[in-house]
Amino acid sequence: MRVLVLGAGGIGGYFGARLHDAGGDVSFMVRPARAENLKANGLRVSSPLGDTRLTPQLITAGANPGAGFDVVILSCKAYDLDSASDAIAPVLNSGSVVLPLLNGMAHLATLDARFGRERVLGGVAHISVALGPDGAIAHLNKFQRLIFGSRSPKASPWLAPLEALLAASPVDFAVSQDIEQDMWEKFVFLATLAAANCTMRANVGEILATCAGEDFITGLLGECEQIAAASGHPASPEKLAVYRSQLADRGSTVAASMLRDVERGGPTEADHVLGDLVARGAALGIEVPLLKLAYSHLQAYELVRRRGH
């Protein structure tokens, strides 16, 4: 099984390195600047679960190595999805599958239209990682979980080899029988977290220390729950209990990566995450005033950011 990881940032670099160390035939498709860094310094991961450093097999984005990859893992940001799809199209063969690890749900329709639903798996990455200015990847805590599965009645033949490879790695993983449900459940939590963090420009504990912070977070979670349920994917009571506990932890320093994007003045996935939920809410006739506020805040941020470039 040949695996291609598009991107060697935090998520793609981390899981790709773990697959490589488990004995996988793994290549990385990256932009030229990232390729130069990796050639000079290697792919470096620091983690409480064990550090690793490897000399990765690289393909520069825009090059055409020809078809031959069996599993293509997409770890790009949502705003790069179109260019990422163009980049991986030449490396796919008739039996290849695409495993996207993007946030939200909107990317599935785009990938299905391009490659066919039967070739697009579902995936959820639960991990907190950061790409340092020197190109090294820092795993910020011990938690790391990868969930993936087929979205079509006929399971992909590449699921079993991928499962076997992950079993030889330190990655906590699961092959899901209902991957879209798993994706929706993460969507509910992530959207709540990102909306709260980015609107308040603070982590969970700091938001909860304000006069209306708890009501704001609770209200966002309720709106996201409503949309998921009306879309046929209600979050389980067990998951909601966990989410409420995490979002009510006054000592929490947790913040979504979208906040780090805002703090560095970069683009965000606001359209793909919050904008998609606002649109789904409108289509379902569900009022989502807090999500609209959070999304408007990020739209204004983007307008100001672009004006400054």
Q: Please identify every residue annotated as catalytic.
A: 186
Lookup: tokens for 85: 């799809």
CA distances from 109 to 112, 278, 295 (A): 5, 17, 21
Q: Which residues contact 179 (CB under 8 A, 6 or more apart)?
A: 121, 122, 123, 124, 147, 148, 149, 150, 151
CB 228 within 8 A of CB 235: yes
Would you call 98 helix, strand, or coil by DSSP?
strand
Q: Are 88 and 114 in contact (CB under 8 A)?
A: no
Position 153, amino acid: P
Residue 255 CB partners (closer than 8 Å, separation 6+):
193, 197, 202, 203, 204
C-alpha span between 252 and 249 (Å, rounded): 5
Q: Give the span between the Cα atoms of 97 and 117, in whole angstroms.
A: 10
Report CA-CA distances (Å) from 9 to 1, 67, 169.
Answer: 22, 23, 19
